[in-house]
Structure 1
Amino acid sequence: MNVTTLINYVLIAAVGGVGSILANRGIAVFNDGLRPIMPEYLEGKITRKELAATSFAVSFGLIIGFGIPVSIGSTILVAHSILLAADIIGTWTPDTKWGTAMAGVVGAIYGIGLLFGLSTIVSLFKMLPFNFLPALSLLGGPILLAFCAFPALSVASQHGPKKGMITFGLTFLAYLLATKFGTFKVDGMTVTLNAIGMSLLVAMIAMIYFAAQIKGDGNSNAGLVNVFSKRVGRIKSNWIWLSIMGGLITASSSMLIIAVDVLPQQLLVKNQVMEAAIATFARAIGFIPLVFSTAIVTGVYGMAGTTIIFVIGLLLKGQPILAFLAGFVWMWIEVQALSATAKGLDKFPGLRDMGEHIRTSLQDTIAIALLIGAALACNKMAPNLGYFWVIGFWLLNKKAKKPLVDMAVGPIAAIVLGVLLNILRLIMLF
């Protein structure tokens, strides 16, 4: 085992362990849907068993249906696969000193097992009668370009279809111009602008511009800070734990172990680090209002904060020690600036409200892109039959009593078909 591999295992173990401790102590969780439930337990309104059941219900499906499937075939984990599991481990272990220690140990073991397991899966795939891993690589293909469309969708949702179409047109034009004129020479050196990165940048600028046009003098967030001052104080009192977690995630990001979402992961697989950083930053913008507002109300912070620490990690690629220090400091800044930033968003209600539209648009964009990617992957496995399989899987899922989340349908359909084709090959039907 070389030094880099050892560092990777130490980091992922630390992320899983510390993350589970944070969830166990009610300091931070990763799942936005779980955060509002935490104060109910902390104030004695629900039992530990009820909290654990809720945590499992809101997180397990995303781990099995989204986090792990899209991580298969790559040594870069989607954050959901480790941080959502930390939520579950932390809430399922007892709320005692021994329980906290147990959460840390179990979380660390899970992290190591996850990284080792995904690396092992790649080797096991090659031993299958029908190796469908190359086909799975097509899953993320449509995401890269489709992601550029989410700002236009967000603008249309927040400001109307006309401005959405303007944003979409500017994005399209930026891609064409970057493709046509994006390669030029500066002082004898050839510079190539990434078309996807440039079009996404233009789209983000348009989205922020439209949102910033909405001014306001409200004080809704300021009111929240005043009402929930004790809960804000609770977050600030745990700054050391949050900063340690921030440092660990940043270091892991710098070593390209964890990506915040599927798009940055796919970009990193293609070694497009700067583009992944831009995509991660774009995603983080939408989460700032949500993380800060829910933190103020609940007294429980986001395990990865506003997720900007992932961006810092990518910018410090290959420098885990420096990345840890930078992430530690940045998370401290986030926590200390919690009240001031939330109040500042009141002056720009468009930016404050933009977050919800971004999240919804991201989910819709990723879901449809993964569905198309799954169709391409399945069709490569089994020409023609693959399209039938994915379309049928999607439609039947819609009719299920407990349907999978849209983002999970495509990856799971592709994996299930791959397993099925291996069985069919063994019995000589494929």
Structure 2
Amino acid sequence: MLEIMLMVCIGALAAVMANLGIAVFNDGIRPIVPENLEGRMTRKELGVTAFAMSFGLVIGFGIPISIAGSIILIHSILLGSDIIGLALDRGKVKTTIAAIIGGLYGAGIYMGLQVVVDLFTMLPLNFVDAFNKVGDPVVVSFMVFPAIAIALQFGVKKGIIAFAIAAFARQLIVFTNGAELIKIGSTPVVLSPEGIALVVGMFLLIFFAMREKSEETNLSTLATLFTDRVARIKKHRWILMLSGGLVAAATNLLLIAGDPISLNLLAEGKMSEGGIAALAKAIGFVPLIASTAIATGVYGPIGFTFVFAAGIFAPNLGIALLIGALIIFLEIQLLTKLATFLDRYPGIRASGENIRTAMSRVLEVALLIGGANAADAIVPGFGFFAIAGFYLINEIAGRPIVRMAIGPVGAIIVGIVGNLLVLLGLYTP
């Protein structure tokens, strides 16, 4: 009951914040919300735009990844809550309706996910275990995203250097773990090779970005231009703090995760590695989320996403709730200083979009490989054939399904086809 109530509260609160224009999860929608708030876009147009930008990600990305890891990817809830909140007009009655629908949606995602997994286990060809292979390449591949971001922003040469250093760091940790070179007393310390490689890559990205300094004497462009919009975010700090606390608490219970990488690590019981991945992802997304929040006056329901790391590392539910709320409070209070910092280091601000692009490209490749491996484990031979054809036909058709979703969705389709083949007597597992 506690878990269901948490999901209801998260869904309801996120829908209300979207409805009132306080916070939305989709980074692409956040800059559009002020167009409606300031009367340049109708509510109907905003709702249609939100649906077009988010629905495909919920169905094709959030839910399949959640099924694969048996932990709910936050995109499944918050993208749907964006649609619910933005589709309804503001007003006491409509906002209350948004809260009710959002709460029901949160509960539905929680209960529906388990129902789907249970149904899969009842099929003649149970492909749940094989489907879990979707996430296997994600954890290892994700450590390369800082090098890709560096290549996009600072050139291929620096990207290759960063990739080589991160790869060396990974193999060095593999060696030290095997040789038990790092110990606390007599107890060997085992470090995550991928986690260390990710941290090294992020350090190099920040190093390169901070070398670009502004030559202008007035270093507070963001802070001065958008004072009113920052004040608007601060006005709603308490509801945002509640959202951050609830999400951190749900993460502590392993109900939700903020990204596919930490989700897969948590599903494997690797708590510290999952926390490091969540922390690295949050650091990488600060420039993008901060810039859009400062410029629009619309925040994110999970802030800079540090609340996920807080939930993972917190010793219990209560502390996770408090730390999550405190993190959002500190983020909001520091927005003005952060604006000045981003103006002083334009390379950091520009890195936000490159980080997002790099993450997307890495996930596209990793999930495609994972989906192909899962599909081939479900129906050997046919799986690779199906995923390859599915991917190429999707490209020729103009990409109606986002690339990140091809692997997971394709694996589910192969599982369904495999069951039909078993029923027809054309395939024996």
- TM-score by length of structure 1 reads 0.95
Contact 1:8 1:257 in 2 (8 A): yes
Shift of 1:220: 8.4
Specify the SS of the correspondent of 1:193: coil
Alpha carbons of structure 1 residues 242 and 200: separation in structure 2 relative to 1, 3 Å: same
Contact 1:74 1:119 in 2 (8 A): no
1:253 matched to which residue of 2? 251
Cα deviation code 1:220-257 (max 9, x no counterpart): 88323322322222111111111111111111111111
1:379 matched to which residue of 2? 376
1:325 to 314, 322, 335: 322
Cα deviation code 1:70-120 (max 9, x no counterpart): 101443111100010110111123311111111111111111111111122
1:176 matched to which residue of 2? 171
- Please, which runs of 5 or more residues in structure 1 have no aligned partner? 1-5
- Please, which runs of 5 or more residues in structure 2 have no aligned partner? none
Query: What amino acid maps onto 2:381 in structure 1?
Result: N
Residue 366 of structure 1 pairs with residue 363 of structure 2: yes
Cα deviation code 1:6-27 (max 9, x no counterpart): 3221211111110111001110
Contact 2:291 2:349 in 1 (8 A): no
Distance 1:200 1:37 in 2: 32
Contact 1:370 1:411 in 2 (8 A): yes
5 Å matches for 1:195-344? Answer: 195-218=193-216, 222-317=220-315, 319-344=316-341
Residue 40 of structure 1 pairs with residue 38 of structure 2: no
Distance 1:7 1:243 in 2: 20
1:400 to 391, 397, 402: 397
Contact 1:378 1:386 in 2 (8 A): yes
Distance 2:313 2:75 in 1: 21
Specify the SS of the correspondent of 2:188: strand
1:388 matched to which residue of 2? 385
Query: What amino acid maps onto 1:114 in structure 2?
Result: I
Cα deviation code 1:297-355 (max 9, x no counterpart): 211111211111111111115x1211111111211111121111111122222222222
Contact 1:73 1:121 in 2 (8 A): no
Alpha carbons of structure 1 residues 359 and 161: separation in structure 2 relative to 1, 3 Å: same
Cα deviation code 1:346-400 (max 9, x no counterpart): 2222222222211111100011000001111111112121111111111111111
Residue 131 of structure 1 pairs with residue 129 of structure 2: no
1:3 matched to which residue of 2? none
Distance 1:310 1:411 in 2: 23
1:345 to 332, 342, 347: 342
2:2 matched to which residue of 1? 7
Contact 2:68 2:135 in 1 (8 A): no
Shift of 1:219: 7.4
Contact 1:250 1:309 in 2 (8 A): yes
Cα deviation code 1:51-79 (max 9, x no counterpart): 11111000000000100011014431111
Cα deviation code 1:126-184 (max 9, x no counterpart): 11011111111100001111011111111111121221111111111112111111234
Specify the SS of the correspondent of 2:340: helix
Specify the SS of the correspondent of 2:144: helix
Specify the SS of the correspondent of 2:124: coil
Distance 1:288 1:37 in 2: 19
Shift of 1:195: 1.6
80-89 or 380-389: which moved more? 380-389
Q: Percent identity?
A: 43
Specify the SS of the correspondent of 1:340: helix
400-409 or 252-261: which moved more? 400-409
Distance 1:219 1:252 in 2: 45
Distance 1:89 1:306 in 2: 22
Residue 158 of structure 1 pairs with residue 153 of structure 2: yes
Distance 2:227 2:44 in 1: 28
5 Å matches for 1:71-86? Answer: 71-86=66-81
Distance 1:421 1:7 in 2: 37
Query: What amino acid maps onto 1:277 in structure 2?
Result: G
**RMSD between aligned residues:** 1.6
Alpha carbons of structure 1 residues 304 and 26: separation in structure 2 relative to 1, 3 Å: same
